[in-house]
Amino acid sequence: MADIAVIGGGASGLTAAIAAARKGADVCVLERGKRVGKKILATGNGRCNLTNIGASRADYHGGDTSFIDHAAGTFWVRETLEMFSELGVLPKVEDGGKVYPYSGSAASVLDVLRRETERVGAETVCGFDVSSVKRMRNGGFKIAAYDGRTVRARGVIIACGGKAAPDLGSNGSGYELLRSFGHTITPLSPSLVQIKTAPDIVKKLKGIKTEARVTIGEFSETGELLFTDYGLSGPPVFSLSSRIGDAGYAEVDLMPEYAFGDVLELLRQRAERLADVPLEDFFTGMLNKRVGQALLKSTDTVPLSRKAGSLSERELKSITAAIKRWRFELRGTMSWNNAQVTKGGAVTSEFDPETMGSRLVKGLYACGEVLDIDGDCGGYNLQWAWSSGYIAGSCAAAMSAVLKNRSEEKQ
């Protein structure tokens, strides 16, 4: 019987396994894929955005984000960077506080995690697709795979990830395993994913990137916006994708550094200086030409063959309003295949934030994306994976040691 069985060999699972094994536990990692860490390789566009130096509760979402407070005070950014430094990863801080390995390769992060997993003696079993986890009468758990194999362990850590990016190994199985023990799962939806809008404008702008502030409801994010043939993409959109709710539209501010009045005055001066320039070239040098043309059409400022000097004060105000609050009708998000993270998960009130242990079933733990905690774009989700995995592994190992000692004393 193993001391700890970790179900899932992703970021949180490998961290949990390493933490538990370092505490002296006999650990077995059960991974349904052909190899561990496949999703790690895709993070940060293949560069692995390890964490964010400014990570705080404000960067996370869920039913109760105070659940992360203990982790933030126990094993957070500093401790994470120290761990990876010890493993040989040299960190590099970039814009927005994002931290990447200096190598620029997510593969190097996975390599050091796999190496450390082996060094501490944690066994990895790939191709083990868990079908059920059940309590045994004499204590501990029996984990069964669909192919008939079984593993017994004193404690189990559910680190299966969510439903996002199923091609990388996530299939939502962890939710069903937790449900089988009576845990509550909130509604699930794709997060850190592209947003779909009415196609009439965006199709013509496919592939164009521009700095902008995007607002959905009361939430706003600023960064590089990407227009696609189906809607909007880019970091600010990813961060807002879980905020859609019942919102009917997204607003794009193409000049977030300028107030409405300042933009209006710029356009007045521009129309005067460029009076003989046709409207199709009015924004050249100020905004992306195609974006400017689409914006003018959206305000019915046509035809674009008109001269800039013909713009009325009413039209200038209408154009200014579009620059500051260009509206795009929302039509949901792209699918799980496009999502980076799952919004929703196991209700955190049913777990102890100091141990990641279940309040319903002794010896059962959960960490990472399977819990109802998701972060913004920028390294926050991996930080939660490292932190929750470390705490779950450490505490599960301590619990297992107590149970093992009791068992030996009885003998």
3-state secondary structure the chain: CEEEEEECCCHHHHHHHHHHHHCCCCEEEEECCCCCCHHHHHHHHHCCCCEECCCCHHHEECCCHHHHHHHHHHCCHHHHHHHHHHCCCCEEECHHHEEEECCCCHHHHHHHHHHHHHHCCCEEEECCCEEEEEECCCCCEEEEECCCCEEEEEEEEECCCCCCCHHHCCCCHHHHHHHCCCCCECCCEEECCCEEECHHHHHHHCCCEEEEEEEECCEEEEEEEEECCCEEECHHHHHHHHHCCCCCEEEEECCCCCCHHHHHHHHHHHHHHCCCCEHHHCCECCECHHHHHHHHHHCCCCCCCCEHHHCCHHHHHHHHHHHHCEEEEEEEECCCCCCCEEECCECHHHEECCCCEECCCCCEEECHHHECCEECCCCHHHHHHHHHHHHHHHHHHHHHHHHHHHHHHHC
Within 8 A by CB and 6+ apart from 37, the residues are 9, 10, 11, 14, 110, 113, 114
Within 8 A by CB and 6+ apart from 252, the residues are 212, 213, 214, 215, 225, 232, 325, 326, 327, 328
Q: What is the pLDDT of residue 242?
A: 84
d(CA 330, CA 46) in angstroms, rounded, equals: 29
- Two tokens at 70? 């203990």
Q: What is the pLDDT of residue 344?
A: 96
- Torsion angles phi and psi, residue 159, rounded to 5: -135, 45
Q: What is the pLDDT of residue 76?
A: 98
**Rounded to whole angstroms, what are the CA distances from 106 to 74, 154, 236?**
25, 33, 22
pTM: 0.89
Which segments of the chain have a pLDDT < 50?
Answer: none
Percent of the chain with pLDDT over 70: 99
Residue showing tokens 């991996």: 382
